[in-house]
Structure 1
Amino acid sequence: MAWILLVIAGFAEVAMAYFLKLSEGFTRLWPSIGMVAFAVLSFYLLSQAVKSLPVGVAYAVWTGIGAAGSVLIGILFLGESRDLLKLLSIVLIVAGVIGLQITGGGH
């Protein structure tokens, strides 16, 4: 269950970053509220996950999902560049997250 909470926390982190961009420096009300709501949700779920997962592993997975997901959102929805090095970097982040999980980092 902790891993599920952690993955959802990571996705909430991606949503937070997206709404942060849409908030235009907190000058737009609804995107700013969305950013705060997803930030609170993300941190709450992360706090629940670290009750039974090592904090280092949980934080690495959470930030990995957030970083890779934010890059993908930027490429798919915000018109950011799709250069090969950026895409390779996403693959490396995802590989690291998977590696942490399969090496028993959460047990």
Structure 2
Amino acid sequence: MNWLLLLIGGLFEACFAFSLTKMSDSSGKMFFFWLLSFIVSVSISMFMLYKAIDNGISMGVGYAVWSGLGATFTVLAGIFILKEPVSFLKLLFLITLVASIVGLNLVTHK
């Protein structure tokens, strides 16, 4: 259950990063829409991290997994939604990041 909380938190971390990007590209009402999206996303993301740590995941591992998942989802959103360029090295390092997250999960004492 705690890992699911971190997964959800990581997804919302990507949402708040995406909201920041959209805020910088917008003005007027759309700016405030993306600002609200940012505030809601960061609040949910932090709350999920808090709940996972409060329910027993160690702080260091929880934060590393949460931020790693957020970074992974943010890169994927950049590639698939914002059409950012993809390179072999970008994919290699993304795979390395995901492998590290899985490794932390495997070596963490339950």
Do both proteins adopt the same fold according to a TM-score greater than 0.5, normalized to the shorter chain? yes
Q: List structure 1 runs of 4+ shifted beyond 6 angstroms.
A: none
Tell me whether 1:93 sits opposite 2:93 in the alignment.
no
Distance 1:16 1:32, change over 3 A: same
Which amino acid letter does the alignment assign opposite residue 23 of structure 1?
M
> How many residues of Structure 1 are paired with residues of Structure 2 in the alignment?
106
- Normalising by structure 1, we get a TM-score of 0.93
Tell me whether 1:80 sits opposite 2:80 in the alignment.
no
Separation of aligned partners in 2, 1:85 and 1:15: 24
- Normalising by structure 2, we get a TM-score of 0.90
Separation of aligned partners in 1, 2:10 and 2:67: 7
Is the CA contact 1:9–1:45 (under 8 Å) kept in the aligned structure 2? yes
Q: Which moved further from structure 2: 5-14 or 25-34?
A: 25-34
Gaps of 5+ in 1: none
Separation of aligned partners in 1, 2:39 and 2:3: 23
Separation of aligned partners in 2, 1:23 and 1:64: 23
CA RMSD of aligned residues (A): 1.4
Gaps of 5+ in 2: none
Deviation (angstroms), 1:25: 7.1
Is the CA contact 1:20–1:26 (under 8 Å) kept in the aligned structure 2? no
Separation of aligned partners in 2, 1:20 and 1:106: 36
Which amino acid letter does the alignment assign opposite residue 29 of structure 1?
F
Richer in helix (by share): 2
Tell me whether 1:16 sits opposite 2:16 in the alignment.
yes
User: What are the equivalent positions in structure 2 for 1:21-36 lying under 5 Å apart?
Assistant: 21-24=21-24, 27=27, 28-36=31-39
Deviation (angstroms), 1:45: 0.8
